[in-house]
């Protein structure tokens, strides 16, 4: 095995410089729950690990402009313990808390889940629904990127050389808003999503949906933002016709693979079923 | 091969070791520090046999590198009993036959202790979900759950 160097810089510029200087042979280490397993099986063979957990920005949850900026390496367990964040974005938090076991929750992060770029990443459809924006730090400074534009395919991202996701911004929502995430797995816990759906929506005083975003996971090479599904909800009170249209739009957006965990037909059908349930939960939360 | 010098606190004792980057905390505990109470099951974070806490947070020691523990506090199964006096969880696991082969037991105990520190009065459902990442191929889990519930009740009364 090649000698692997380890660096734990204390600021993002240093981490970015190390990453850019390594010519693709470095990996960013956040929680490590995916990376260490990939290294064990030689899926990735880095010569440098850049641990970003000594950088304050990646480890902090802060309120900002009425929303929340969540450090890319904050472990899932800390998200649920932040009462204000859990109250503001229950769907994002419940999605993050579905990732792995209690032990994995102690390490696994939103930034890692996003940059690992698995199509089945649980937190990503919920973040897409939330309109979350990743703050990317690179050799040329910083840029803000919609989370749905980070993954470009399984294990692949749009990040350029030396670029690091430092934090995720969850924006302020209007009053009477709610979000939710559900996934289908064949057991109760500790499994990978066969389908995942996240929905965030806002209601007016009469309970009519004024805005919605629908994120869909595990049914395409990347998690998807499905505008047609959101359009099915907007202007409705989530009556049966709107729910039918939602389910149809979600199923139409699916282009899944066939594998041992689900067939194309099953995933496509279940995506619509889950979308109804998720919309219903988000609707109830928005009304509270 | 360049090794990194790491200083941690393990079970309250300041501990120094040298390790290569790819050595996990589990490797360091077992192979460098000869603390073999922590077990290796899958090595990929799926089974929980290697559970320890780091700064009070339950983790799989196979999913943390030794170099990442610099400056942090680790608690392992070796720190659970007070001398010859077993922790109430350990005593109840024996009394209530909550283990058979014993490979998963250190991880289950560390995980259960961490739960009871955070939540002294968990429901059975909460115990089952908390321990979902600790696989046991012998007991069928029921006796484990009962022993944790019994211990929680006992410790609340104490």
Residues B99 and B36 in one domain: no
* Whole-number pLDDT of residue B1: 59
Contacts of A100 in chain B (CB under 8 A): 45, 133
CA dist., res. A182 & res. A184, Å (int): 7
What does DSSP say about strands A48-51 and A5-7: parallel, antiparallel, or unpaired? parallel
Q: In this predicted structure, what is the pLDDT of residue A3?
A: 86
CATH number of the domain to which B32 belongs: 3.10.20.30
Same domain, B61 and B104: no
Rounded Cα distance between A87 and A64, Å, is 15
Confidence of residue A53 (pLDDT cuts 50, 70, 90): very high
Residue from the list B1, B44, B65 with its beta carbon closest to the beta carbon of A37: B44
Interchain pair B63, A29: CB under 8 A: no
| Residues A71 and A61 sit within 8 Å (Cβ to Cβ) | yes
Please identify, among B59, B79, B99, the residue that sits at the C-terminal boundary of a domain: B79
The answer to whether residues B112 and B61 belong to one domain is no
Domain final residue, candidates B46, B79, B112: B79
* Dist CA A109 CA A240 (whole Å): 37
Helix axes B105-118, B88-95, angle to 10 degrees: 130
Shortest alpha-carbon distance between residue B34 and chain A (Å): 22
Q: Does A3 touch chain B (CB under 8 A)?
A: yes
Q: Which of A189, A227, A209, A187 is nearest to A103 (CA)?
A: A189
d(CA A192, CA A198) in angstroms, rounded, equals 15
Closest-CA residue to B154 (of B107, B98, B91) = B91
Whether the predicted pLDDT of A1 surpasses 70: no
Q: Quick one: B94 and B69 in the same domain? A: no
Encode pLDDT of A181-207 as tens digits.
Answer: 999 998 877 788 999 999 999 999 999
Q: Which of B2, B43, B111 sits opposite A102 (nearest CB)?
A: B111
Best CA proximity match to A96, nearest among A84, A114, A115, A83: A114
How is residue A109 written in tokens? Answer: 């992060």
Domain residues for B97? 88-157
Alpha carbon distance A207, A159 (integer Å): 40
| Domain span(s) for CATH 3.30.43.10 in chain A | 5-51
pLDDT tens string B100-152: 999 999 999 999 999 999 999 999 999 999 999 999 999 999 999 999 999 99
What are the residue ranges of CATH 3.30.390.50 in chain A? Answer: 177-286
CATH 3.30.465.10 correct for A58-170: yes
Question: What are the tens digits of pLDDT across the range B1-60?
Answer: 579 999 999 999 999 999 999 999 999 999 999 999 999 999 999 999 999 999 999 999
Percent residues over pLDDT 90 in chain A: 94
Instruction: Confirm or reject contact between A60 and chain B (CB < 8 A).
Output: no
**Residue intervals in chain A for CATH 3.30.465.10:** 58-170
The total number of structural domains that make up chain B = 2
Closest CA to A129 of A282, A286, A285: A282
Q: What angle do CA A135, A137, A141 make, to 5 degrees?
A: 115
A106:B59 CB<8 A: yes
CATH number at residue B151: 1.10.150.120
Among chain A residues, the shortest Cα distance to B2 is held by: A3
For A177-286, the fitting CATH number among 3.30.390.50, 3.40.50.1980, 3.40.50.620, 3.30.420.40 is 3.30.390.50
Shared domain for B26 and B67, answered yes or no, is: yes
Domain end point (choices B56, B79, B102): B79
Domain A5-51: CATH class, spelled out: alpha beta
Residues of A in contact with B57 (CB under 8 A): 75, 77, 106
Alpha-carbon gap, residue B52 to B63, rounded angstroms: 11
Structure tokens at B41: 């099951």
Q: What's the CA gap between A243 and A23, in Å, rounded?
A: 49
As for the ipTM of the complex, it is 0.96
């Amino acid at each position: 095995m090649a000698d692997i160097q380890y660096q734990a810089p204390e600021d993002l510029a240093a981490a970015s410089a190390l990453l850019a200087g390594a010519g693709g042979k470095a990996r960013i280490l956040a929680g490590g729950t995916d990376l260490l397993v990939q290294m064990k099986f030689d899926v990735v063979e880095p010569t440098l690990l850049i641990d970003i957990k000594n950088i304050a920005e990646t480890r902090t949850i802060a309120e900002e402009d009425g929303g929340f900026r969540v450090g890319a390496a904050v472990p899932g367990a800390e998200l649920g313990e932040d009462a204000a964040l859990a109250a503001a974005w229950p769907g994002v938090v419940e999605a993050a808390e579905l990732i792995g076991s209690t032990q994995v929750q102690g390490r696994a992060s939103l930034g890692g889940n996003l940059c690992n770029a698995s199509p089945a990443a649980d937190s990503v459809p919920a973040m897409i629904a939330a309109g979350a924006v990743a703050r990317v730090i690179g050799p040329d400074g910083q840029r803000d990127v919609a989370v749905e534009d980070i993954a470009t395919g399984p294990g692949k991202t749009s990040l350029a050389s030396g670029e690091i996701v430092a934090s995720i911004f969850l924006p302020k929502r209007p009053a009477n808003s709610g979000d939710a995430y559900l996934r289908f797995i064949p057991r109760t816990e500790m499994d990978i999503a066969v389908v995942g759906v996240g929905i965030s929506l806002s209601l007016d005083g009469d309970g009519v949906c004024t805005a919605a975003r629908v994120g869909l996971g595990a049914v395409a090479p990347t998690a998807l933002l499905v505008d047609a599904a959101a359009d099915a909800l907007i202007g409705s009170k989530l009556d049966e016709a709107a729910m039918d249209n939602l389910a149809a739009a979600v199923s139409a957006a699916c282009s899944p693979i066939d594998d041992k965990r689900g067939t194309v037909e099953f995933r496509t059908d279940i995506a619509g079923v889950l979308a109804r349930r998720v919309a219903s939960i988000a609707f109830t939360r928005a009304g509270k | 091969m360049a090794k990194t010098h790491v200083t941690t606190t393990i079970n309250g004792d300041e501990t120094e070791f040298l390790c290569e980057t790819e050595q996990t905390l589990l490797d360091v505990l077992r192979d460098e520090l000869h603390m073999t109470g922590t077990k290796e099951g899958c090595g990929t974070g799926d089974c929980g046999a290697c559970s320890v806490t780091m700064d009070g947070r339950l983790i799989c020691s196979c999913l943390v590198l030794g170099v990442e523990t610099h400056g942090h506090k680790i608690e392992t199964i070796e720190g659970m009993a007070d001398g010859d006096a077993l922790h109430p969880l350990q005593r109840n696991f024996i009394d209530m036959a909550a283990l058979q082969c014993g490979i998963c037991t250190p991880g289950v105990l560390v995980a259960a202790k961490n739960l009871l520190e955070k939540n002294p009065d968990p429901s059975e459902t909460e115990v089952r979900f908390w321990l979902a990442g600790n696989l046991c191929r012998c007991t069928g889990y029921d006796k484990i759950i009962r022993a944790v519930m019994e211990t929680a009740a006992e410790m609340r009364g104490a």
